Structures are given as C-alpha cells and as structure tokens.
Amino acid sequence: MQGTGRARPDWRIAAPLIGATFAGLALVFAGVPAALFVLPPILAWLAALRGAEGTGQSPRPAQRGDAVQALDRAYAARGATPIALVVEIDGFRALSERLPHPDLLDLIAVLRDRLAGALRPDDACAPLAPERFAVALSVRDRQIDTSGAMQIAARLQRAMSGTVPVGGIAIAPTVSIGFALPVGPGLDSGERLMQAADHAAHEAHRNGPSAIRSFSGAIAGRLRQQEQIVHRLIEAFDRGEITAWFQPQVAAATGALTGMETLVRWNRPGRGVVPPGEFLPDLMRAGLADRLAALMVGLALRAVRDWDRAGLQVPRVSVNFSTEELCDPRLPDRIAFEIDRNDLTPDRLVVEVLESVVAHGEEDPVIRNLASFARLGCRIDLDDFGTGQAAITSIRRFHIERIKIDRSFVTDIDTDPEQQKMVSAILVMAEKLGLETLAEGVETDGEAEMLVALGCGHLQGYGIARPMPFEDVATWLRRREAGDGTVTRLRQTG
C-alpha cells in the first residue's frame, strides 16, 4: 500500500480466533455493483496477486468458493453449526469520493487486517470487492441461536472499530453486518446460507450505520415478492408494456422546440400507466438496466425517424442513462448501430448523465463510454445539476455540452430571491465554461419569465407540456404550430 510501508498482503492470514468454540472461519469479499468506480485499481492489484502464483511470492488467494466450502464442511461435520455473515463498510461511496485512491486502499487494508485479527492460522481470506466481506464460521459442540450470532457480529464490529489515520486525517469507519443461521426452508447448503447472509447485510446497510440484521422470514418474504416483481417486469418487456413517453424542451427566449426527453413508463394492464419511481429501482436491482437502455434508445431514435418522415421538426431526443448502463462497454457500439439503422446523424441523440454518476480515472468505463459518445458526435447533458454530487472537473471529463438545472432550484424562482441567486450563479458559471443551460420542472409563467430574464437557454416542465406517449406527440406539435390556445407556447421576446 502506498504511504504505509506495508507489503502487499498475503490473504492466508493467521490470527487468534474470536473464541475457542469457533472453527472453520473463512473470510471473503462479496461484490457489489455500487463499488464499480473503485474496482479498477483494486482488481489490478488482485490480478498481480494471482499472477504471482507459482513464483513463490504468495499462495493462491482464497476465493468466495472457499468460504462456501467451509460452510459445507460445517454442514457435514457432526456437532457443528455453520454461520454465514457479510460485513459491509458503511458510507463507502462517500469515502471513495472523499479519499484519493491510495488512501482509500490503505483504509480498506486496515479494516481487513483488523477483521483478519479474528482468524486462526487455517482460516481463508479472499477479496472480491472493496467494501464487503463475507464470513463463514462453524460453531462446534454447542447450540447457537440468533442471540449468540448477534454477539459474534458485535465482536466483529468491535474488531473493526476505532479511528484510522489516513492521508493526514483521522477516519472513524463503521460496519454493518448481516448473518444467517441454517434455520428455515432452503438454507441447506453453504451457497444458500451465504446468499441469505448477503441479503441480511443489505437490510443492515439500509438501517445503518453500525446495524446488525439476521436473515429472517420477513426478509425471505420480501425476496419472494421481489422475485415476483422481477418476473413481472421481464414479462412486461416481452409484452411491450415498458415504453417511452416524451416531454418537450423549448428555447427560453423564443419558445421554439429544441428537443424531446425520453421518459420510461410501464403501461401495466389493470393499473394503467405506472411512473418510473414505482418500478425502476426493482428493474435496476433485477439486472435489467442493459435491456432498458437498449429499449429506450431504440424507441427514441425510431421516434425521431418517424417524426422526420412525417415532416415534424424535432431537432433531437434525449435519453437518460444510469451508472450501471454507462458501465456497459458495448453501449457505444449499440447506440452507433441504432443511429445508423434509423438513418440519423449522431447529433440528433443527447446522452443524459445523472449528476450522481461518479467515476474515477481516465480508464473508468463511464468516462471511456462518454468519450466514445463525444467522438461519435452525440451531445451530452449533465442532468439534475446543482444537487451536490458533481465536481466542476466532471464537466470537462464527461464532455458535457449542457447542464440541466435541477427542479429544486426552479420552484418559486419568480418569488424567491435565494433561488434567483443560486440559479444566477449557475448560469454565470455555465457561460464562463461555454455550456448551454436547461431548467427542469418549470411549471408557471412566472418561473419561465424569470428564467428568461436570468439568461437560461432552455426550459422543460409541466408549464411547457406534460410527458406524452409517442402517439400524442404529432398532434401536440401540429396544434402548437397552428397556434392552438390549448397548447402552451411561451411568448416570443425580442
């Protein structure tokens, strides 16, 4: 580790066990997608460790399967009770944003070493991701219940507690822990027990920091419900129920249409149109982000093609991408294919990046993909700007051309001087950086007029038009061009 003088770790660590009654303890990292932005340097380190096999530098690092096998041995042993635990560092994303990579790696190493101090010489340790550890242990010759496992988890928390001096500052990290005992249907193997502990750890993390949760019937019930939701979402994709709606964007000074934002909707039979907030989290947890991205891009570009053929002027269409979608190395090629297939130019597509997207280093997959989009000729917007996640450096690294001012700054801007100051400052910054601007969530004429006066370039919101299905866009555009008074159109200025 840089700055510590410590040698690269040997993941077969010998140390005293927490208590003499415990045996077969194994420790591994359990992966989590949220840590993708810190994986590259750590995975490179792991690759170096694996490359040292057979050279005498270090033995093969243990893997997750070793922990599962330790649990399986406990299942098979007479008088032994297996327990699986998963330990997660609290607030790891904030730590990754706050600390340079070498300091972050040092912090992980300190916490790993503290936890390793609970292990005996024959216990195995292996990393799979930076912030999560899975622990497999066996209790021999006595019964262990939830209360006893809670005590074990608390001991692990204490083993990892205490401030850590990193990069000239003191960090006081905490961990949350989930565990599972072989009680209840289906928990009859090491793999299933480890999976149950992982689910319990997610529950602990949501209730953290420093939370401990046991896998329970309630968690199992929620998992069954989530499985049903995932199955229903897959069916919704297959049946064409997941579809795109569109919301207009206009030039603030003239009211001219400048684009449409693509918004996902679920047209669920028996319920009608379901807004994204009710199903997107489940969809992302189900690993359906890639399928959603492919669908939205396809629908958006086909819509532009059809509007062109109908003689309707829609300059460009925006599609919002999550961090998970932007990490897909195949995404730029897929988008280039869709653009070509619909006989469009790349500048007709705007790639919207949420301000919460966090990336580190020029080799981060998000940055590589955004650079590919920029080279292709797509425009890139930074969405929800001002919510406190993005650094100014991200604007340059992400090849941003326009920032979308979050609706929280727009509400009541015509009557709130503080809102006016904040937006004015954002607009001045954007002008200095050569960026276009768009205000989201514009709902009243007063808000629109104030944004025009402050110099905002583009507007979007219910005050312009509500999101609408593809079938309604042509009618809205024709009525708008015809000057239909039922269709909102900003008065032209100048």
353 and 237 in a single domain? The answer is yes
194 and 233 in a single domain? The answer is no
176 and 257 in a single domain? The answer is no
77-81, 144-148, 319-323: which range is least confident on average?
Answer: 77-81
Written as one string, the DSSP assignment of 143-185 is ---HHHHHHHHHHHHHHT-S-EEETTEEE---EEEEEE-S-ST
* Selected residue with higher pLDDT from 461 and 79: 461
Residue 350 has pLDDT above 70, yes or no: yes
253 and 154 in a single domain? The answer is no
User: Is 382 within 8 Å of 356 (Cβ atoms)?
Assistant: no
132 and 269 in a single domain? The answer is no
Give the CATH number for residue 235. Answer: 3.20.20.450
Residue 21 has pLDDT above 70, yes or no: no
The pLDDT assigned to 128 comes to 57
Q: Which two tokens stand for residue 231?
A: 């199955």
- How many whole angstroms from its chain centre is CA 1? 27
173 and 235 in a single domain? The answer is no
Give the pLDDT band (50/70/90) at residue 387: low
- Distance, CA of 394 to CA of 397 (rounded, Å): 5
In a domain, 10, yes or no: no
Strand pairing report for 164-166 and 132-140: unpaired
Q: Measure Cα distances from 472 to 157, 190, 241 in Å.
A: 57, 54, 17
Residue 485 has pLDDT above 70, yes or no: no
Give the pLDDT band (50/70/90) at residue 28: very low
In a domain, 138, yes or no: yes
The pLDDT assigned to 363 comes to 59
Give the CATH number for residue 87. Answer: 3.30.70.270
In a domain, 12, yes or no: no
Q: What is the pTM of this model?
A: 0.66
| Helix, strand, or coil (residue 386) | coil
Identify which of 411, 467, 442, 405 has the alpha carbon closest to the alpha carbon of residue 275.
467
Residue 424 has pLDDT above 90, yes or no: yes
Which of 215, 246, 275 marks a domain boundary? 215
In a domain, 122, yes or no: yes
In a domain, 17, yes or no: no
211 and 232 in a single domain? The answer is no
139 and 231 in a single domain? The answer is no
**Boundaries of domain holding 353:** 227-481
In a domain, 231, yes or no: yes
For the stretch 164-188, pLDDT in tens is 998 889 999 999 999 999 988 888 8
What is the pLDDT of the chain when averaged over all its residues?
Answer: 81
396 and 321 in a single domain? The answer is yes
Written as one string, the DSSP assignment of 6-29 is PPPPPSS-----SSTTEEEEEEEE
How many domains would you assign to the chain?
2
* Selected residue with higher pLDDT from 15 and 44: 44
Which of 180, 215, 250 marks a domain boundary? 215
Residue 358 has pLDDT above 70, yes or no: no
Q: Measure Cα distances from 171 to 4, 99, 210, 211 in Å.
A: 15, 10, 15, 19
The pLDDT assigned to 66 comes to 66
78-87, 122-131, 432-441, 478-487: which range is least confident on average?
Answer: 122-131
- In a 10 Å sphere around its CB, with 0-12 CB exposed, 13-18 middle and 19+ buried, how is residue 494 labelled? exposed
188 and 293 in a single domain? The answer is no
202 and 288 in a single domain? The answer is no
User: Is 316 within 8 Å of 401 (Cβ atoms)?
Assistant: no
In a domain, 255, yes or no: yes
The pLDDT assigned to 320 comes to 92
In a domain, 13, yes or no: no
Give the pLDDT band (50/70/90) at residue 291: very high
The pLDDT assigned to 238 comes to 96
The pLDDT assigned to 36 comes to 31
Which of 183, 215, 247 marks a domain boundary? 215
**CA angle at residue 108 from 103 to 109, to 5 degrees?**
95
233 and 211 in a single domain? The answer is no
Identify which of 112, 117, 123, 106 has the alpha carbon closest to the alpha carbon of residue 4.
106
The pLDDT assigned to 40 comes to 38
The pLDDT assigned to 55 comes to 42
Q: Residues of the chain with pLDDT > 70: what percent?
A: 79
